[in-house]
Amino acid sequence: MTLVAEEVRIDVPVSGAPRRSVLTRLVARLGNGVVQVVLALVAVFWLVPVFGLLIASLRDESANTANGWWTVFTKPAELTLANYAELVANQAVWQSFLNTFYIAVPATVLVVVLASLASYALAWIEFPGRETLTVVVVGLLVMPIQVALIPVAKLFGALGLFGTITGVVLFHVAFGLPFAIFLLRNFFTGIPRDLIEAARMDGATEWVIFKRVILPVAKPAIASLTIFQFLWVWNDLLVALVFADQDSAPITVALRAQLRQFGTNIDMLSTGAFLSMVVPLAVFLVFQKYFVQGVLAGSTK
Amino acid sequence: MRLRPNVDAAPGRSPRQAIPFLLPALVLLAALVLYPLVFSLIRSFFDASGDEFVGLRNYVDTFTDPRTLTAFRNNVIWVVVAPAAVTGIGLILAVLTERIRWATAFRLVLFMPMAISLFASGIIFRLVYDEAPNQGVVNAVVVGVHDMFSPASQYPGARPRDGYAATEAGFASIRPAQAGDTISLPLIGYSPQDVPPQALPASPPAAGTGELRGVLWLDVSLGGRAGAVDPTERGLPGIAVEAVRDGQVVARTTTGDDGRFTFPDLGAGGVTVRLPAENFTLPFRGLTWLGASLITPVIISSWIWIMTGFAITFIAAGLSAIPRDALEAARVDGATEWQVFKRVTIPLLSPVLLVVFVTLVINVLKIFELVFVIAPGSVQSEANVLALQMWQVSFGTGGDQGAGSALAVILFLLVAPAMLFNIRRFRRERS
């Protein structure tokens, strides 16, 4: 599925008497103005909550307790980076920020590598049961992770993986695979057969075809998958809540602990929340095209 | 796996070559997804310790536990309201964005919440719906609008020191007064700092024949005498005072800057002096959004904020795939824009809308973080949903993995129709 970003303008056909057409055009133009205003308001409506959080994170505790973030328009001098300095100085929060990378990067790399390999086999190598396997993968797309929490916790306990970053990563990889395979397999099957057959005629091994033919062509799909999977893991709370301990906790889990500790102390909470959002927002703004495509393709997840 | 001899001359036709490509992924899927599914199913028939087979008891307990039933009820509300709302809003906005030049920017803004964690979104909406009107923007707006139509009282929380009974209409004197009396009415429960600047020092008026006079002042000063007018104490201007006889208000006046008030023509007989309640009503503080009654709608609204961008983008992609010819043909036939939308666009778009809707339903069934973060601890049981209840029962306060497994299986069964929907769609697209 590709996102078509080009604009489609609806032109009211000019027909009938000229007087009517002028009127129709006037109404259309007026209506268009209303649409512009409404959509602008909707966009503002969508931005205000995030903007409020950002401002709250940039004001100290006394300012936040005294009045709302919107007073920043009259008192811009209240803005300060003190909350961020304090949060980053907090060893537990800083460690959790790093942990989020230690979890998200390997979980993303592993999913991309394992899913590319499996997708190649499902798309281009004939073997018995291929059809069934593909259908199983499609079925697993919507599997709720709750189903696996208790059994995998037991399994990790027995293997000594419970409470470790490795355990969290492995769980994310397993539950990221169905979507990843689904997305890449769809893309791989779209690659012209001639390309692969020609390589086979030349005596290329499957590994060489995968590396030299498939991967270079599949770059956009792999980019979408990478962005999607990275954000998915980065934003996770539930998996880490169950499988990580205090030392391996990512930022969402650490902030959740702060939430219980601080209660409604919005200056620290908003700062922590915004810190956790910085990476996803940056990734989103830089790679938005790939991310949107990934989400659309992975809508079933 | 059935192994065939390599019948094809072409290399790469051997099924055996698939094994190294597939094995790593399959091992992980089998160990961490498929095996757990079977394990959870079996585990759900055993008790909390896992030693004793209890048959269906975990399921029976689940369907009789009030907390779980609340979670079920909320899940039903979610499924009925949220996906339809997002699909509808998404459709309207997707159609409207076709009319503007900055459609890409608009979709980008609305898509942005998808990039951030549900946890962070939860914090965002905790702030948005904060109860205090000087913290939460929603209550700030609600209070602002409310005060525009019904202004706040001047002396919230102030009350007479003694001798007055609190009634629905206000503070009424216990003993009746009549013309010729002077009333000394000390108020407390209000900060001297909040007294209006025009207030003058209070002094009791002299008695006047035929008139009921009095002074109303703030009886709060350091080292002052209770119930007596001290030099630093000021009168309270602008307070309404009523004289009531037989339940009827016979006269009404307002205190001056020195706190004095006068009823000139009361006639014969005693009256009750009453200070109407509207003088002292506490300021309107907005709605308790994060309280028990509004918590689920509030969380749903935050989910709408998150998911609408997805719906718009998906539906917009579907809209652009509609052949322009079909729309033009309808317009040439004289159809209005609304008719074109209803008769041509919607039917052609319905497969896309169905996919969006099903996707949203799956998403809703797995709702966990938003409830976990937005609902304060005290109302979490009221906002509970199955996915959260499963975590609570298994890992939170419950610690009962038998019951937790039963909930996991129920969750799986609820998602199973979507699984079949996906498989059927996949099969159809291939053929």
Global ipTM: 0.85
Residues A53 and A108 in one domain: no
Q: Largest alpha-carbon pair distance within chain B? A: 126
- Among A156-160, B59-63, B191-195, B303-307, the minimum mean pLDDT is found in B191-195
A296, A1 contact by CB (below 8 A): yes
Q: Which B-chain residues 143-162 have CB contacts (< 8 A) with chain A?
A: none
Q: Rg of the Cα trace of chain B?
A: 35
Residues B180 and B102 in one domain: no
Burial category of B48 from C-beta neighbours within 10 Å (exposed 0-12, middle 13-18, buried 19 and up): middle
- Among candidates A120, A126, A238 on the partner chain, residue whose Cβ is nearest the Cβ of B368: A238
Tell me the three-class secondary structure of B246-306, residue by residue: CCEEEEEEECCCCCEEEECCCCCCCEEEEEEHHHCCCCCCCCCCCCCCCHHHHHHHHHHHH
Put simply, the answer to whether B118 touches A141 (Cβ < 8 Å) is no
pLDDT of residue A263: 58
Residues B177 and B256 in one domain: yes
Q: What is the pLDDT of residues B156-176, one digit of tens each?
A: 888 888 888 888 888 888 888
Count of the separate structural domains present in chain B: 2
Bigger pLDDT: B64 vs A25: B64
Q: Which B-chain residues 388-417 have CB contacts (< 8 A) with chain A?
A: 390-391, 394-395, 401, 404-405, 407-409, 411-412, 415
**Domain finish residue from A52, A80, A108:** A80
pLDDT of residue B354: 92
Q: How far apart are CA A32 and CA A7, in angstroms?
A: 15
CATH number at residue B351: 1.10.3720.10
Q: Is residue A132 included in any domain, yes or no?
A: yes
The pTM (predicted TM-score) of the whole model is: 0.82
Residues B88 and B135 in one domain: yes
Q: Is residue B405 included in any domain, yes or no?
A: no
**Region B256-263 average pLDDT:** 88
Is pLDDT above 90 for B384?
Answer: yes
Q: Is residue A11 included in any domain, yes or no?
A: no
Residue B212 forms beta bridges with which residues? B263
Residues A68 and A103 in one domain: no
Bigger pLDDT: B9 vs B429: B429
Residues 6+ apart with CB under 8 A from B2: A128, B15
Q: What is the pLDDT of residues B102-135, one digit of tens each?
A: 988 999 999 999 999 999 999 999 989 988 888 8
pLDDT of residue A3: 33
pLDDT of residue A25: 65
pLDDT of residue A10: 38
Region of B247 please: left (phi>0), alpha (psi -120 to 50) or beta. left
Residues 6+ apart with CB under 8 A from A158: none
Count of the separate structural domains present in chain A: 2
Mutate one of B2, B4, B17, B22 to test the A interface: name it (highest A CB count within 10 A).
B22
- Among candidates A6, A47, A266 on the partner chain, residue whose Cβ is nearest the Cβ of B109: A47
pLDDT of residue B32: 96
B212 three-class SS: strand
Q: How far apart, in Å, are the Cα atoms of A167 and each of A251, B31, B35?
A: 17, 13, 16
Q: How far apart, in Å, are the Cα atoms of B332 and each of A16, B56, B260, B403?
A: 11, 64, 79, 63
Q: Is residue B87 included in any domain, yes or no?
A: yes
Most confident range (mean pLDDT) of B53-67, B154-168, B210-224 is: B53-67
Q: How far apart are CA A117 and CA A101, in angstroms?
A: 24
Residues A249 and A135 in one domain: yes
Q: How far apart, in Å, are the Cα atoms of B289 and each of A53, A97, A106, A203, B299?
A: 18, 31, 40, 68, 10
Residues 6+ apart with CB under 8 A from A186: A297
- Among candidates B359, B387, B407 on the partner chain, residue whose Cβ is nearest the Cβ of A299: B359
**Domain finish residue from B245, B279, B313:** B279
**Domain finish residue from A51, A80, A109:** A80
Start-to-end CA distance of chain B, whole Å, equals: 25
**Could you say which DSSP state residue A101 is in?**
H
Residues A144 and A222 in one domain: yes
pLDDT of residue B280: 83
CB contact B92 to A (< 8 Å) = no
**Domain finish residue from A40, A64, A80:** A80
Q: How far apart are CA A232 and CA B3, in angstroms?
A: 38
Residue A127 belongs to domain spanning: 88-297
**Could you say which DSSP state residue B32 is in?**
I
Encoded tokens for B377: 């601890």
Q: Assign B226 a pLDDT band (cuts: 50, 70, 90).
A: confident
pLDDT of residue A289: 83
Q: Min CA distance, A172 vs chain B (Å)?
A: 10
Chain A's closest residue to B363, CA to CA, is A301
Is pLDDT above 70 for B101?
Answer: yes
Is pLDDT above 80 for B5?
Answer: no
Q: How far apart are CA B16 and CA B14, in angstroms?
A: 5
Put simply, the answer to whether B422 touches A177 (Cβ < 8 Å) is no
Residues A45 and A177 in one domain: no
Q: Is residue B209 included in any domain, yes or no?
A: yes
Residues A154 and A287 in one domain: yes
Q: Is residue A9 included in any domain, yes or no?
A: no
Residues A164 and A280 in one domain: yes
Burial category of B47 from C-beta neighbours within 10 Å (exposed 0-12, middle 13-18, buried 19 and up): middle
Residues B164 and B273 in one domain: yes
DSSP B312-378: HHHHHHHHHTS-HHHHHHHHHTT--HHHHIIIIIHHHHHHHHHHHHHHHHHHHHT--HHHHHHS-GG
pLDDT of residue B89: 96
Residue from A252, A275, A245 nearest A168 by CA: A245
Q: What is the pLDDT of residues B323-343, one digit of tens each?
A: 888 888 888 888 888 888 888
Residue B373 belongs to domain spanning: 65-139+289-399
Residues A96 and A72 in one domain: no
Q: Min CA distance, B4 vs chain A (Å)?
A: 9
Residues 6+ apart with CB under 8 A from A205: B11, B12
Put simply, the answer to whether B117 touches A49 (Cβ < 8 Å) is no
Residues B330 and B219 in one domain: no
Residues A149 and A172 in one domain: yes
Is pLDDT above 50 for B3?
Answer: no
Q: Is residue B28 included in any domain, yes or no?
A: no
Residues B232 and B269 in one domain: yes
Residues A75 and A92 in one domain: no
Put simply, the answer to whether A174 touches B28 (Cβ < 8 Å) is yes
Q: Is residue B45 included in any domain, yes or no?
A: no
**Region B145-163 average pLDDT:** 82
Residues B117 and B171 in one domain: no
Using 70 as the pLDDT threshold, list the residues of chain A that sit under it: 1-30, 260-264, 298-301
